[in-house]
Amino acid sequence: MTFGGETTSEERTLALVAHLLVFIAPVLGPLVIYLIKKDTSRFVAYHALQATVFQLIAWIIGGATCGIGFLLVVLSILAAIKANKGEWEEPYPLIGSIGR
């Protein structure tokens, strides 16, 4: 099959599955489809690789932002403890004495 040519129903279904595997087996699912079909269907391989890269980037960004969110929760708890103890020490790093 040439790139941009006709596709079969099976190819379209596998391409669709590669994208929807984000709900069951993100990154690994479309990667497996890519590895199986890369030599027999450029259409399926293209969509499976696109899904793999997109899902990998989403996982990396999600992990990074989740880590930041966790850090914000921890810092807020530490600041709440300082406030409860009556401390005037800056509760958040990098903010300094804003509000004094």
Tokens (6 digits) for 32: 């497996």
Domain boundaries, the chain: 9-84
pLDDT mean by block of 10 residues, the chain; 100 residues: 77 96 94 97 96 95 89 91 88 75
- For residue 47, the model assigns a pLDDT of 96
Residue 1 has what pLDDT?
44
pLDDT score recorded for residue 3? 61
pTM of the predicted protein model: 0.70
pLDDT at 26: 92
User: By the 8 A CB rule, do 56 and 27 touch?
Assistant: yes
